[in-house]
Structure 1
Amino acid sequence: MASILALYPGQGSQSPLMATDLYQASKKVRDLFQLAGEIAGRNLYALVSEGSEDDLKPTQASQFVITLANRSAQIRLEETGHTFVGHSGFSLGELSAYAGAGILDDTTLFTIVKRRSELMDEEARKAQQRYGELGMAAVIGLGFAAVNTILEEARLPGLYASNDNGPQQVVLSGLTESMLKAKDLLTEAGARRVIPLKVSGPFHTPFMQEATTGFRAFLDSLSFCDPTSLVLSSVDGSPIKDGEDAKDHLARQLAQPVRWTSVLGEVAALVQQTGAQVAEVGYGNVLCGLCKNSKLDISCIALGQETAIQTFGKEIRQ
């Protein structure tokens, strides 16, 4: 079977019915839903099978169901005989990467998801009460350095470039009022579109800084293992050396930008070295799109649904 270099999506990839096909196909996945639901204190299968997009949007819902979909897809790929040469996750998806590489067991994984989502939601609420309406938006057509320069020159309060997704895509995070003012400036500078995202807080910005200390203290109370395979952090694209390094990157991640362009540079080099198949292991194909638009030699396939996993397996066996 194939050797896979797994990329796990993060917040914003949630969708009704996600991972329900994997749930039906695998007892291990059903057991995972049961475990995650006990930690979350709610029926997560009912949430994804019956819930609307609005039901899945809140941070404490989306982070659980996205992580569930990511881990469920990896479980199904392992059950069908595939192996993994490396892992990386976009923001929240980094937790799934750590689980895939053996740094976290699933109980620890979802315990972290619970606390992380609570802290981020709490910090976002505080910021909104203090500063006004907050959110995130994707800027299509400009790179990270260009967007940073525009924001610095405009001196718009409470607005940051929070995700370096690729040479032509950056995510803004912060005050909605400043974001609306920035839209015209970004368009004038060459941005083709500025698109609001399905995320409920100003993540990966200084608005989250107060949550970092508490989150790190929480992580220090948990047991992390050293990785059994390669993990690239979305904080800076570097490989995770050990469990302590993993804790450090997870805590820093809350208030620092996602540097996905750096991750993809490392992924392209690994593909050349190993010949591994790059796959988005989780619901949707956002990360495959970022690979395609990266201008790097990366061929990514989406392996987050049962039909795709079965089709991929058949193609490999031929």
Structure 2
Amino acid sequence: MAKKYAFLFPGQGAQAPGMIKDVAENSASAMKVIDDVSKLIDVDMKKLMWESDAKELSRSDNSQIAITTASLAIMAALKDKGIEPSAAMGFSLGEFPALYAAGVLSFESVIKVVRQRGLIMQKVCEEIAAENAGHAPGMSAILGLPPEKVVEIAKGIKDAYAANMNSVKQTVISGTFDALAEAEKAATEAGARRAVRLAVAGPFHSPLMQKAADEFEKVLADVEFADPKIHLFSNVTGKAVEKGSEAKSSAVLHLTHPVLWTDEEAVLANIISVEGGQMEWSVLEPGPGKVLSGLWGQTEFGSGMPASPVNTWEVISAL
């Protein structure tokens, strides 16, 4: 039986100057993706991805389109080797390459949608920062405390929200500056190993991003979302996506609702178990970085079936 692949697509924060340059230089298909994106949005993607410094690349209006382009370019290189996904899921921004991989969004649609998403989020985050100078909302990672305890702490604090359910060892909270400080203190007192304020532009995946969600909903109004052709999973529900209409509504809710990543991982693991197990499946992370492979490794099923980052030509050529 042919090998099956599950693709995990990384989110914002995975970007790095020079990312996937060696892939593009060795794969005509990957380079074509980068060139096509450049033409679609009138941005020199090679210059953005390979010549920008880390600060410039970290802006939402730059990082989101760069990471998406990188993931789609790697997918193209993998397709040349006969490697295509039977399941796809993405963390936050990564959900958009997953929508493309599942046939829900066309190439042109996913690029234009992600471009507008990045521009909107950058603008809203700049507005939030200006309104709260030196006291801006943001996110904190709580390490070493059970997720359910972190959720309980957030629920007890005004303007604090459990935002990213990353693993059994790590949960991220979004909130106002004061709410985060209170949540960090409460988590530490409850036994958290560490509470780390993250270097992010805004309180992502929380109701504090409602303005961005309202603007993004207008962008999606006329965009067609087809039904998925492979297994696809939602950050918003933590479950499989059956209909394009569901994917479309979730794409808006995505900005104000938590990322239920651990739930998605469990659903994917169950599908893999039912459909042949680890002898017939491989889990790949096509995109910059290796965060999702690490999170998969923290699961009860990850040790027996590790996920592999795929972001260099050396790795791709060895598959």
- Normalising to structure 1: TM-score of the pair? 0.91
1:142-291 superposed matches below 5 A:
142-153=145-156, 155=157, 157-274=158-275, 275=277, 276-291=281-296
Structure 2 counterpart of 1:268, which letter? A
Contact 2:240/2:267 (CA < 8 Å) preserved in 1? no
Q: CA deviation at 1:198?
A: 4.3
Whether the aligned pair in 1 keeps the contact of 2:33 and 2:76 (CA below 8 Å) is no
Corresponding residue for residue 302 of structure 1: 309
In structure 2, the CA distance between the partners of 1:294 and 1:209, relative to structure 1 (3 Å rule), is same
Mapped to 1, the partners of 2:115 and 2:86 lie a distance apart of: 28
Structure 1 residue matching 2:128: 3-state secondary structure: helix
Contact 1:150 1:185 in 2 (8 A): yes
Residue by residue over 1:99-137, the C-alpha shift from the partner in whole angstroms, topping out at 9 and shown as x without a partner, is 011111211111001111122222223333334412223
3-state SS in 2 of match to 1:93: helix
Task: Provide the alpha-carbon RMSD of the alignment.
Answer: 1.8
Assess if the C-alpha contact under 8 Å between 1:134 and 1:202 holds in 2. yes
How far does residue 39 in structure 1 lie from its aligned partner after superposition? 3.6
- Separation of aligned partners in 1, 2:274 and 2:22: 34
Alignment partners' CA distance in 2, 1:134 and 1:176? 5
Change in Cα spacing, 1:197 to 1:20, as seen in structure 2 (3 Å) is farther
- Decide which of 136, 141, 151 is 1:138's aligned counterpart: 141
* % same residue: 30
Q: AA paired with 1:139?
A: I
Scaled by the length of structure 2, the TM-score of the pair is: 0.91
* CA deviation map 1:195-240 (0-9, x unaligned): 3434322110011112223322321211222221111111112222
Given residue 307 of structure 1, which amino acid in structure 2 is its aligned partner? E
Distance 1:50 1:196 in 2: 28
Distance in 1 separating the partners of 2:93 and 2:187: 27
1:272 Cα deviation from its structure 2 partner: 0.9
Give the letter for the 1:160 counterpart.
Y
Partner of 1:62 in structure 2? 63
Q: CA deviation at 1:60?
A: 0.3
CA contact (8 A) 1:163 1:170 kept: yes
1:226-264 Cα distance to aligned partner (Å, 9 max, x none): 221111111112222222121111011010000001101
8 Å contact from structure 1 (residues 89, 96) kept in 2: yes
Residues 80 and 198 (structure 1), Cα distance of their counterparts in 2 relative to 1, 3 Å cut: farther
- Rounded to whole Å, the distance in 1 between the matches of 2:235 and 2:57 is 24
CA distance in 2, matches of 1:28, 1:108: 19
Which 5+ residue runs of structure 1 have no aligned equivalent?
314-318
| Secondary structure, aligned partner of 2:141 | strand
Report deviation, 1:94. 0.5
Indicate conservation of the 8 Å contact 2:155/2:161, yes or no.
no
Which letter does structure 1 place at the counterpart of 2:139? M
Output the CA distance in 1 between the equivalents of 2:37 and 2:290: 24
Q: How many residues align?
A: 310
CA-CA distance at 1:182 after TM superposition: 2.8
Give 3-state SS (helix, strand or coil) of 1:83's partner.
Answer: coil
**1:293 matched residue in structure 2:** 298
Q: Tell me how far apart the structure 1 counterparts of residues 200 and 38 of structure 2 sit (CA, whole Å).
A: 22
SS, match of residue 296 in structure 1: coil
- Per-residue CA deviation, residues 112-169 of structure 1 (Å, 9 max, x unaligned), is 011111222222233333344122232211233211222333x2x4332111111111
- 1:70 deviation in Å? 1.2
Which residue type is aligned with residue 26 of structure 2? Answer: A
Q: Is the 8 A contact 1:57 1:198 kept in 2?
A: no
Counterpart of 1:5, as a letter, is A
Take 2:70 and 2:96, find their aligned partners in 1: how far apart are those partners? 12
Work out whether residues 220 and 247 of structure 1, in 8 Å CA contact, stay in contact via their aligned partners in 2.
no
